[in-house]
Chain A
Amino acid sequence: MFHLSKSPRILIPVASKHLALPLYLSRVPAGFPSPAEDFVDGVLDLNDLIEHPAATFIVRVSGYSMTEAGIFDGDLLVVDRSLKPRSGQIVVAVTDGEMVVKRLKRKAGRWWLIPEAQDNSAFRATAMGEGSEIWGVVKNVIRNLS
């Protein structure tokens, strides 16, 4: 479960005063520094795409009830619980004590969880009632293509 990857480390007592020295990004044994050095500005971090980290959870899809919406078995869904659920959005919901991913629709004064499978005869739309609730709004799908 847990591994210590690092070799034993000796810690230096806090008592010493440190002299902060600038760290260069490229090693230059001799000659000129890289002209790009002044322009290094970090890297693209996929975490930047997550607007509300404290409210964002990742879940894994099991099954084929949403394939027409481009969601397949094994996909990862990025779920943002801070978003207000609206009709037409894909959501993770709790119904019958189970977590499901479905399209949320408002129809005839009721909220519905609608599957979008290739063969919809295998799945049924369910009206949300007592004991069911929206868990969070699906913001992204992550799938390995290769």
Chain B
Amino acid sequence: MNCIFAVADCNNFYVSCEQVFQPELRDKPTVVLSNNDGCVIARSPEAKAMGIAMGEPYFKVRQRMGPAWATGQNAVQVRSANFTLYGDMSRRVMDIIADNAPEIEIYSIDECFMDYTGAAFDVVEHARALRATLRQWTGLSVSIGLGPTKTLAKLANRKAKQDETGVYDVADLAVRNAALKDTAIEDVWGIGRCWSKRLKRHGLYTAHDLTIADRRWARNIMGVVGLCTIDELNGLSALAIEHSEPDKKTLCVSRSFGHTVSDRNALAERIHYFTVRAAEKLRQGDWVAGAVSVFVRGNAFRQDLPQYSNSTTIGLAIATSDTGPIVRAAQYALDRIYRSGIPYKKAGVLLLDLQPRASAPPSLFGAANPRRDHLMDVMDNLNRKFGSGAVSYGQIPQARTWYMNQHHRSPRYTTHWQELPMVK
């Protein structure tokens, strides 16, 4: 059977979330800063047009732009990351998609895959309708790319962002080939900056060049993972829903449960396990995370059972890869969303706002603790040697240290009674 995958991706997600509740920001150059107001992590189209770069340190952009930064019609609007708000808006988007699409995989805070394989309806029409629903229900714009593999759906999504209908399908061979020729090799999902540099040295510049590359040669350069990407670009589905690598911005560990789980402690155990795994993965990549999101979901295929799904996001005071504070934040998040009497079918942990450890801004609240780093190293080494889970993080110590420095944070409009939007 021909596979049909789709990727839904929110446009300028963080900035768009701010605009839903602050209409005065619409059409204005707007940036969102990372935790502790370090770097630019999201830009409105107007801010992009002004040449503000992704990841640029806040103080540098301000310096570079001079007085133009804060004056006139083009004064740049600044917001601190409000992950509580973004997490809640993400939950709404994912809930709406999950109610409409057959199977979904949440890939990052603003992105998910859908599997439409075997659908007995016009999938492009369905995607358009879904996009309209998302726009009306949440106020957020979503682009949807469709294709016979996940990699092609991602590629189609890039085209969808430039298409005014916001939906792009590369099922048709002629359309697909044009899109492949039109996509730079570094923009192919799964081809990192490192590989794309090497491939360019060998004269491969577009996704299309990759599809006609010699397989033996490609395998030498990129290994089996690279071959898998080539197969996917050629329309042979190699990646199923749920088994993909996390993208750079987010890291997700989640599972569907064989048997549903209702008990709070049993659910907490699983969340704990996912969090420990996620923190391990985080350290493997030498990343630190700025926020932790936890989601739980009932069994949507059993409408006879009580239904509930929710998620919440907790910002970390200091971007970290230390299992301790991440586990505490995750358990706190679970406390906020757990409801008794629900047969939970799926749960997971997302680590957000990832950045390389080397570039993480130092914190005012406490210098990096070399002893903790050492402890994490020892834990990871033991687990590598004796198998995953040989040593784990058991106790959840009490601490209240995940405060953040956020001078421009907007209210948490959707999750705090004291911070609701005001209407006149």
A-B interaction:
yes
- A residues contacting B by CB (< 8 A) are 1-14, 18, 42, 52-55, 57-63, 65, 76-77, 81-82, 92, 94, 97-101, 135
28 A-B pairs in the complex with CB atoms less than 8 angstroms apart: A2-B400, A3-B400, A4-B398, A8-B397, A8-B398, A12-B265, A12-B269, A13-B269, A13-B392, A53-B95, A54-B93, A55-B92, A55-B136, A57-B414, A58-B414, A59-B420, A59-B422, A60-B421, A60-B422, A76-B420, A82-B137, A97-B26, A98-B23, A99-B21, A99-B421, A99-B424, A100-B424, A101-B424
Residue from A3, A77, A81 within 8 A of B138 (CB atoms): A81
Which 4 A-B pairs give the minimum distances between C-beta atoms? A55-B137, A97-B24, A94-B23, A54-B92
Given contacts A4-B400, A14-B269, A55-B92, 15 further A-B contacts (CB under 8 A): A2-B402, A4-B399, A11-B268, A11-B269, A14-B270, A54-B91, A54-B92, A54-B96, A58-B414, A59-B422, A60-B421, A60-B422, A61-B423, A62-B424, A99-B424
**Chain B residue at minimal CB-CB distance from A97:** B24
Q: Does B154 contact A (CB under 8 A)?
A: no
Is B394 touching A10 in the complex (CB atoms < 8 A)? Answer: yes
B21 proximity list for chain A (CB < 8 A): 99
Is B423 touching A99 in the complex (CB atoms < 8 A)? Answer: yes
Q: Does B314 contact A (CB under 8 A)?
A: yes
- B residues contacting A by CB (< 8 A) are 21, 23-24, 26, 91-93, 95-96, 99, 133, 136-139, 265-266, 268-270, 272-273, 314, 328, 331-332, 335, 341, 392, 394-400, 402-403, 413-414, 420-424
Q: How far is the CA of A85 from the CA of B328 in the complex (A)?
A: 43
Is A81 touching B139 in the complex (CB atoms < 8 A)? Answer: yes
B421 proximity list for chain A (CB < 8 A): 57, 59-60, 99
Is A81 touching B136 in the complex (CB atoms < 8 A)? Answer: yes
Assuming A6-B335, A11-B269, A55-B138, is B26 touching A98 (CB within 8 A)? no
- B359 CB to closest chain A CB (Å) equals 26
B394 proximity list for chain A (CB < 8 A): 10-11
Residue from A11, A54, A98 within 8 A of B272 (CB atoms): A11
**Chain A residue at minimal CB-CB distance from B329:** A2
Is B138 touching A1 in the complex (CB atoms < 8 A)? Answer: no
B23 proximity list for chain A (CB < 8 A): 94, 97-99
A59 proximity list for chain B (CB < 8 A): 420-423
**Chain A residue at minimal CB-CB distance from B341:** A42
A82 proximity list for chain B (CB < 8 A): 133, 136-137
B265 proximity list for chain A (CB < 8 A): 11-12
Is B396 touching A98 in the complex (CB atoms < 8 A)? Answer: no
Is B424 touching A65 in the complex (CB atoms < 8 A)? Answer: yes
Q: How far is the CA of A112 from the CA of B403 in the complex (A)?
A: 45
Q: How far is the CA of A119 from the CA of B392 in the complex (A)?
A: 67
